[in-house]
């Protein structure tokens, strides 16, 4: 955006903020259209309801912001003269000129509009503007003056477009342009259609031309062989990928004349041949490239084939054969399944992690074993991401219902610990224990908070006086917490990673991490409230109010007591369900 546009935008934003009245009957950026017939006190001519766009001068895919001050446009013809009628809001002396000419005032009225400061009465003047045509794009200008804010009137150029209902067409074309822009690689046909579409993409363009550009671009995008995400799945074990994937490269997909195609580059080493849905592909190209093999780099030939397929969204059956002279007496064949543009890596990874957690649980109930089996069966490249996720969630729920550590059975926090374990937030020790009563260190609690609440990574380095005492495993978690303002350290500029975290400190850290306000913190009623440090009192009060942390009995909070691993697990789980 050029400097002139920036100045105009800044000026208008300032004016709108000062005005505080945006009529509900006029177009905004989101509505992209103003319709209606003017209602005036003295105008006699009946205007025709018209679709009118007041278009941004700098970006003609958008409505001008000054449309907020213009209402109830209509058109009519009289004695061979065409007129555009517009109601102009009279806040800050707004003036509109159309095709370089002022309008003739034909009416005036006051109405109530809903602005940023509530309901407000504003005055509108109704003007008739002589225009040459209702089908041609018309240039216009608005000016306004905010006393004590600007020293001279501010000006906005815009376009007026009448009865060209192109808003939805522009939205559709803009979306198609974004899709085509992302397609790689691009054929000459797609590049040409994309260039044409970008030139046409404007509220000033006739609707029919926009729809034609959209149709051309959609067709070119569909016919463009675009890089595809493909799994070549082992047919005997669909949880694994086929070794034949090493001989297949650069998968692409496209559609043409109502047919779907998968394009594959097939390595010609060992006379590799591929059939997809029992059909050979049509050769479209051949090239030589260098690849890294088991014995170093070597030049190999690839042949590009187009395979016509029944449905790119379905799992495709395929076979690959090869022959290694001196090793085999006849060609070897592998049946494989091909899955196109269905990335399930995240779901499969989560499923495998959940199975590992479940198998390590101390208590192996029938319910848990069944859930493990179901998750294993679901975790294949041939199942949908939704099915994999559903089986994984069922397994995680089953984990939360069993005792996962040897020392947590019948513990008051058993279920809390199991649920966090199922989510991969907490783990135990190599001896199978969780040590629920063990005091948690500041470093451990920081990791727990950062991990559970997904506090983002940071490049900011730590500046504590005892940085050298922060273990390598904890450093990144402490960095994230510091950058997020969750922890600040002590007055002597230390973090004290190996010190135990107190219950009061845990409350402060968690409330900060959750970004809960302490402005209206309630009064504390614990018998030992006076023992809570002054800086921590509002945080403890909010934590108690939100149900994150409780007292320890006898109406006491025990602010200086160490927070145990079990207590930490309980309050973290509460934070996740807050």
Q: Using one digit for the tens of pLDDT, what is the confidence trace for 445-481?
A: 999 999 999 999 999 999 999 999 999 999 999 999 9
Query: By 3-state DSSP, what share of the chain in percent is helix, strand and coil, each rounded to 5?
Result: 35, 30, 40
Torsion over CA: 210, 211, 212, 217 (sign): positive
Backbone angles phi, psi at 150, to 5 degrees: -115, 150
Q: State both tokens at 135.
A: 């089908």
Q: Does residue 5 carry a pLDDT above 60?
A: no
Q: Give which of 335, 270, 276, 272 is closest to 306, Cα–Cα.
A: 276
- Tokens 């005032």 sit at which residue? 105
* Rounded-to-integer distance, Cα 320 and Cα 306, Å: 15
Degrees to nearest 5, angle at CA 489 with 486 and 493: 145
Domain formed by 226-340, architecture: Sandwich (2.60)
The region, left, alpha or beta by phi > 0 then psi within -120 to 50, assigned to residue 253 is beta
> What are residue 318's DSSP bridge partners?
276, 336
* Rounded-to-integer distance, Cα 26 and Cα 421, Å: 55
Higher pLDDT, 370 or 92: 370
> What are 518-543's pLDDT values in tens digits?
998 999 999 999 999 999 999 999 99
Q: pLDDT category, 323, cuts 50, 70, 90?
A: confident
* Rounded-to-integer distance, Cα 307 and Cα 163, Å: 47
Region 182-199: mean pLDDT is 95
> What are 93-142's pLDDT values in tens digits?
899 999 999 999 999 999 988 766 678 889 999 999 999 999 999 999 99
* Rounded-to-integer distance, Cα 57 and Cα 160, Å: 10
Report the SS3 class of residue 388.
helix
* Rounded-to-integer distance, Cα 429 and Cα 290, Å: 48
According to the model, what pLDDT value does residue 324 have?
84
Q: Does residue 154 carry a pLDDT above 70?
A: yes
Q: pLDDT category, 266, cuts 50, 70, 90?
A: very high
* Rounded-to-integer distance, Cα 467 and Cα 495, Å: 8
Q: pLDDT category, 330, cuts 50, 70, 90?
A: confident
> What are 366-404's pLDDT values in tens digits?
999 999 999 999 999 999 999 999 999 999 999 989 999
- Tokens 């001050």 sit at which residue? 69
> pTM score, two decimals?
0.71
Query: Do 226-340 and 3-164 fall under one CATH topology?
Result: yes
- Is the Cβ–Cβ distance between 253 and 221 less than 8 Å? no
Q: Does residue 31 carry a pLDDT above 80?
A: no
Report CA Rg, the chain.
Answer: 34
Q: Does residue 188 carry a pLDDT above 80?
A: yes
Q: Does residue 22 carry a pLDDT above 50?
A: no
Region 407-421: mean pLDDT is 91
> What are residue 127's DSSP bridge partners?
86, 105
Region 492-505: mean pLDDT is 95
Q: Does residue 26 carry a pLDDT above 60?
A: no
Q: Give which of 416, 417, 469, 413 is closest to 443, Cα–Cα.
A: 469
* Rounded-to-integer distance, Cα 9 and Cα 6, Å: 5
- Is the Cβ–Cβ distance between 573 and 416 less than 8 Å? yes
Q: Lowest mean pLDDT of 19-23, 43-47, 125-129, name the range.
A: 19-23
Q: Which residue ranges make up each domain of the chain?
A: 3-164, 168-222, 226-340, 345-412, 437-576
As to burial, measured by CB atoms within 10 angstroms (0-12 exposed, 13-18 middle, 19+ buried), residue 17 is exposed
Task: Find the DSSP H helices in 272-413.
Answer: 345-360, 366-378, 385-399
Q: pLDDT category, 327, cuts 50, 70, 90?
A: confident
Q: State both tokens at 496.
A: 């004290």
493-511 per-residue burial string, b: 16 or more CB within 10 A, e: under 16: eebbbebbbbbbbbbbbbb
Q: CB-side exposure of 92: number of CA atoms within 13 Å? A: 26
Q: Cβ of 120: how many Cβ atoms within 10 Å? A: 16
> What are residue 302's DSSP bridge partners?
267, 287
C-alpha 79 chain-centroid distance: 56
Average model confidence (pLDDT) across the chain: 89
Backbone angles phi, psi at 23, to 5 degrees: -60, 140
Q: pLDDT category, 36, cuts 50, 70, 90?
A: very low
- Tokens 């240039």 sit at which residue? 139
Q: Cβ of 93: how many Cβ atoms within 10 Å? A: 11
For a pLDDT cut of 90, what percent of the chain falls above it?
A: 77
Q: pLDDT category, 274, cuts 50, 70, 90?
A: very high
Q: pLDDT category, 310, cuts 50, 70, 90?
A: very high
According to the model, what pLDDT value does residue 45 have?
64
Q: State both tokens at 56.
A: 């941004």
According to the model, what pLDDT value does residue 19 have?
44
* Rounded-to-integer distance, Cα 73 and Cα 67, Å: 11
Region 162-189: mean pLDDT is 95
According to the model, what pLDDT value does residue 50 have?
85
- Tokens 């804010």 sit at which residue? 149
What DSSP character marks residue 147? T
Backbone angles phi, psi at 38, to 5 degrees: -70, 140
Q: Cβ of 293: how many Cβ atoms within 10 Å? A: 11
According to the model, what pLDDT value does residue 92 have?
80
Q: Does residue 80 carry a pLDDT above 60?
A: yes
Q: Give which of 556, 528, 539 is closest to 504, Cα–Cα.
A: 539
According to the model, what pLDDT value does residue 236 have?
93
- Domain boundaries 3-164, corresponding CATH code: 2.60.40.1850
* Rounded-to-integer distance, Cα 577 and Cα 279, Å: 53
- Is the Cβ–Cβ distance between 183 and 224 less than 8 Å? yes
Backbone angles phi, psi at 125, to 5 degrees: -100, 135
Residues 6 or more apart from 174 whose CB is under 8 A from it?
61, 201
Torsion over CA: 504, 506, 512, 515 (sign): negative
Q: pLDDT category, 288, cuts 50, 70, 90?
A: very high
For a pLDDT cut of 70, what percent of the chain falls above it?
A: 91
According to the model, what pLDDT value does residue 365 have?
95
- Is the Cβ–Cβ distance between 265 and 272 less than 8 Å? no
- Is the Cβ–Cβ distance between 137 and 158 less than 8 Å? no
According to the model, what pLDDT value does residue 376 have?
97
According to the model, what pLDDT value does residue 356 have?
93
Q: State both tokens at 242.
A: 């086929």
């Amino acid at each position: 955006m050029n400097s002139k546009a920036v100045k105009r935008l800044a000026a208008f934003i300032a004016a709108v903020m000062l005005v505080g009245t945006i009529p509900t009957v006029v177009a905004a950026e989101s509505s992209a259209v103003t319709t209606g017939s003017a209602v005036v006190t003295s105008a006699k001519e009946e205007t025709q309801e018209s679709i009118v766009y007041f278009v941004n001068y700098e970006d003609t895919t958008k409505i001008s912001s000054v449309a907020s001050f213009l209402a109830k446009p209509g058109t009519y013809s009289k004695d061979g003269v065409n007129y555009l009628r517009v109601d102009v809001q009279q806040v800050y002396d707004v003036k509109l000129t159309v095709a370089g000419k002022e309008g003739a005032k034909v009416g005036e009225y006051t109405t109530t509009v809903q602005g940023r400061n509530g309901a407000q009465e504003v005055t509108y003047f109704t003007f008739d503007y002589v225009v040459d045509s209702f089908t041609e794009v018309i240039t216009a200008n608005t000016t306004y003056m905010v006393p004590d804010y600007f020293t001279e009137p501010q000006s906005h150029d815009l376009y007026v477009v009448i009865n060209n209902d192109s808003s939805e067409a522009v939205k559709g074309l803009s979306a198609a342009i974004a899709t085509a822009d992302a397609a790689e690689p691009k054929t000459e046909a797609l590049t040409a259609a994309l260039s044409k579409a970008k030139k046409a993409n404007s509220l000033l363009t006739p609707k029919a031309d926009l729809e034609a550009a959209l149709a051309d671009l959609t067709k070119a995008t569909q016919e463009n062989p675009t890089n595809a995400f493909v799994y070549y799945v082992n047919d005997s074990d669909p949880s694994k990928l086929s070794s034949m994937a090493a001989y297949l490269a650069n998968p692409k997909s496209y559609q043409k004349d109502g047919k779907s195609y998968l394009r594959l580059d097939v390595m010609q080493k060992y006379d590799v041949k591929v059939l997809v849905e029992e059909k050979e592909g049509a050769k479209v190209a051949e090239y030589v490239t260098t690849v890294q093999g088991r014995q170093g780099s070597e030049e190999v030939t690839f042949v590009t084939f187009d395979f016509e397929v029944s449905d790119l969204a379905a799992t495709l059956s395929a076979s690959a054969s090869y022959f290694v002279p001196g090793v085999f007496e006849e060609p070897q064949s592998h049946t494989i399944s091909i899955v196109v543009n269905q990335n399930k890596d995240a779901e499969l990874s989560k499923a495998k992690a959940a199975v590992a957690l479940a198998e390590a649980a101390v208590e192996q109930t029938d319910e848990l074993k069944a859930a493990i089996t179901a998750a294993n069966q679901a975790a294949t490249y041939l199942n949908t991401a939704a099915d994999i996720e559903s089986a994984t969630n069922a397994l995680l729920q089953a984990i939360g219902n069993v005792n996962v550590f040897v020392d947590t059975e019948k513990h008051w926090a058993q279920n809390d610990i199991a649920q966090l374990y199922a989510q991969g937030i907490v783990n135990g020790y190599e001896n199978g224990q969780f040590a629920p009563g063990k005091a948690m260190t500041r470093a451990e609690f920081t990791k727990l908070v950062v991990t559970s609440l997904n506090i983002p990574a940071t490049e900011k380095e730590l500046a504590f006086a005892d940085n050298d005492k922060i273990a390598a495993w904890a450093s990144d978690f402490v960095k994230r917490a510091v950058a997020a303002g969750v922890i600040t350290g002590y007055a002597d500029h230390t973090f004290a990673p190996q010190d135990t975290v107190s219950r009061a400190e845990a409350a402060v850290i968690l409330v900060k991490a959750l970004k809960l306000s302490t402005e209206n913190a309630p009064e504390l009623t614990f018998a030992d409230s006076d023992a809570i440090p002054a800086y921590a009192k509002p945080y403890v009060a909010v934590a108690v109010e939100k149900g994150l942390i409780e007292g320890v009995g006898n109406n006491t909070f025990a602010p200086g007591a160490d927070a145990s691993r079990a207590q930490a697990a309980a309050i973290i789980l509460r934070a996740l369900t807050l």
